């Protein structure tokens, strides 16, 4: 650039000095409506050179002024960014302390100059919600939505979290459904979906997300199994509330065999059917469950049944005693069924067999009742006394 300028100056000097040395400076006439400007070629060139020098000087001045302005602007912006970083660090410390008012204040102040303004506004929204200021929380959330542009997932997740905190459960469920369409395996989305579906009783939806929870590693196997059982029980309760025993039976028939073989569901179904006075269906489920796999929970439901054929239950219990051995619960349950049919002698033998395995206050009381029916009051009194001694804690026993 400097070389070009030097060549340009040499050219001008040649044009100016050449005619002067030769004695011929030329003649220039610039004529307008009102003025005539007369000068020599040399004078015109000198004026052009001076004009160029003036323009160069103005350009340098403007550059210097604007450079100074840019530096000043950069200094102010840098100062705000430094302050924003400092306030963000302070806000995180206040978050650990649980001071949500200061968290919101520090996160929102100068948030536009923070390294991640979106994060600042989202945390400010949650802090405002924690202290119950829904208006401020919404304002911060809207500002975050403006900054997020096309990446709205963090904003939507925070919105659902705030809705759950406000118990706006159905709105949260709507938001979760939209998020699952976009990010079906996002861990936080799945955790929020779990809460929203449980609160709204969306049991089928809860069952649908369990495979995704497993693939995303959300919660452990025990927790997911508990969720599955909770969803099944919820569906059972819904069917019972809507259509009674008919709805329960229809729902049960429509389940796959693997589901119907779940003991916890068999117990729940039997309990609900007994409540609906459908003892026949309950008995079928209990007997089918015991035939496949023994479980104490199914056995304890037997005395609640009003069976049309008591011998079927008694036969099933005796079969279980042969398979499982002398379990006290089996003998006690058999004794209770025999009592219902006034078979007092057989019932007393069953209770004695249960007590032979281990002493139990309830079994002593039941045996005493059967002995009363058998006209054996003395032994009945002895059995009641034994049961009473078992039910009394060591501190309650009289000192000798």
Partners of 38 in the β-ladder: 29
Smallest CA-to-CA distance from 280 within 313, 251, 254, 257 is with 313
| Other residues' Cβ atoms within 10 Å of the Cβ of residue 385 | 12
What's residue 21's pLDDT? 52
Tokens 């059967």 belong to which residue?
370
Which residues sit opposite 306 in a β-bridge?
none
Looking at residue 400, what is its pLDDT?
37
Residues 6 or more apart from 246 whose CB is under 8 A from it?
none
Residue count of the chain, please give it. 400
100-115 pLDDT tens trace: 677 676 767 766 666 6
3-state SS, 1-61, equals CHHHHHHHHHHHHHHHHHHHHHCCCCCEEEECCCCEEEECHHHHHHHHHHHHHHHHHHHHH
The values of phi and psi at residue 184, to 5°, are -65, -15
Structural contact between residues 107 and 120, judged by C-beta atoms closer than 8 angstroms: yes
Q: 299 with 333: CB under 8 angstroms? A: yes
What b/e sequence results for 100-125 when a residue is b if at least 16 CB atoms lie within 10 Å of its CB, and e otherwise? bebbbbbbbbbbebbeebbbbbbbbb
For every residue of 305-328, DSSP letters joined together read ---S-HHHHHHHHHHHHHHH-S-H
d(CA 191, CA 218): 7
pLDDT at residue number 111: 65
- Tens place of pLDDT for every residue, the chain, 400 residues? 565 566 666 666 666 666 655 555 566 667 676 777 777 666 767 777 777 777 777 877 777 776 655 555 454 445 666 776 776 667 666 666 777 677 676 767 766 666 677 777 888 888 888 888 888 888 888 888 888 778 889 999 999 999 999 999 999 999 999 999 999 999 999 999 999 999 999 999 999 999 999 999 999 999 999 999 999 999 999 999 999 999 999 999 999 998 899 999 999 999 999 999 999 999 999 999 999 999 999 999 999 998 778 889 999 999 999 999 989 999 999 999 999 989 999 999 999 999 999 999 999 999 999 999 999 999 999 999 999 988 775 545 544 3
116: helix, strand or coil:
coil
pLDDT, position 12 = 66
Q: Rounded to whole angstroms, how far apart are CA atoms 244 and 253?
A: 15
Rounded Cα–Cα distance for residues 265 and 246 (Å): 17
Q: Which residues of 220-245 are buried (b: 16+ CB within 10 A; e: fewer)?
A: eeeebeebbeebbbbbbeebbeeebb
Find, among 162, 231, 168, the residue nearest to 194 by Cα. 231
CA-to-CA distance for 5 and 37, rounded, in angstroms?
29
> What pLDDT was estimated at residue 71?
56
Integer Cα distance of 86 and 114 in angstroms: 9
Residue for token pair 């430094």: 82
The position carrying tokens 């989305």 is: 189
**DSSP symbol at 166:** T
pLDDT at 91: 64
DSSP for 261-311 reads: T-HHHHHHHHHHHHHTT-HHHHHHHHHHHHHHS--HHHHTTGGG---S-HH
CA-based diameter of the chain, in Å? 161
Taking the CA of residue 151 as centre, how many other CA atoms within 13 Å lie in the half-sphere pointing to its CB?
A: 5
- Which phi and psi angles does 272 have, rounded to 5°? -65, -40
Delineate the domains of the chain, giving CATH numbers in brackets: 318-392 (1.25.40.10)
Per-residue pLDDT, 246: 92
pLDDT at 17: 61
C-alpha 74/C-alpha 269 separation (Å) is 72
The predicted structure's pLDDT at residue 87: 67
- Phi-psi bin for 252: left (phi > 0), alpha (psi -120 to 50), beta? alpha
pLDDT confidence of residue 94: 67
């Amino acid at each position: 650039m400097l070389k070009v300028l030097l060549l340009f100056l040499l050219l001008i000097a040649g044009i100016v000095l050449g005619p002067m040395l030769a004695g011929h400076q030329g003649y220039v006439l610039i004529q307008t409506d009102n003025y005539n400007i007369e000068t020599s070629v040399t004078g015109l060139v000198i004026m052009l050179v001076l004009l160029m020098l003036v323009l160069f000087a103005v350009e340098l001045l403007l550059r210097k002024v604007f450079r100074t302005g840019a530096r000043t602007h950069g200094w102010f912006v840098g100062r705000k960014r430094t302050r924003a970083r400092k306030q963000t660090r302070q806000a995180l410390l206040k978050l650990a302390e649980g001071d949500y008012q200061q968290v919101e204040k520090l996160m929102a102040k100068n948030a536009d100059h923070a390294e991640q303004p979106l994060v600042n506004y989202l945390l400010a929204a949650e802090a405002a919600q924690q202290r119950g200021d829904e208006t401020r929380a919404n304002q911060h959330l809207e500002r975050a939505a403006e900054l997020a542009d096309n990446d709205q997932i963090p904003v939507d997740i925070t919105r659902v979290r705030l809705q759950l905190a406000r118990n706006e459960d159905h709105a949260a469920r709507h938001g979760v459904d939209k998020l699952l369409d976009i990010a079906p395996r996002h861990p936080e989305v799945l955790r929020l979906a779990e809460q929203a579906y449980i609160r709204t009783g969306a049991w089928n939806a809860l069952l649908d997300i369990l495979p995704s929870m497993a693939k995303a590693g959300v919660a452990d196997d025990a927790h997911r199994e508990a969720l599955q059982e909770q969803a099944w029980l919820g569906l059972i309760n819904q069917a019972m509330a809507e259509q009674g025993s008919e709805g329960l039976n229809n729902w049960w028939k429509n389940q796959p065999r693997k589901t119907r073989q779940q003991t916890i569901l068999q117990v729940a179904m039997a309990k609900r059917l007994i409540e609906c006075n459908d003892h026949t269906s309950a008995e079928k489920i209990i007997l089918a469950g015991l035939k496949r796999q023994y479980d104490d929970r199914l056995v304890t439901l037997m005395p609640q049944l009003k069976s049309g054929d008591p011998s079927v239950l008694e036969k099933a219990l005796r079969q279980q005693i042969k398979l499982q051995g002398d379990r006290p619960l089996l003998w006690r349950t058999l004794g209770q069924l025999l009592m219902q049919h006034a078979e007092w002698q057989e019932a007393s033998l069953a209770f004695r067999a249960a007590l032979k395995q281990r002493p139990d206050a309830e079994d002593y009381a039941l045996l005493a009742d059967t002995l009363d029916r058998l006209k054996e009051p003395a032994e009945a009194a002895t059995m009641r006394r034994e049961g009473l001694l078992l039910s009394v804690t060591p501190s309650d026993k009289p000192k000798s």
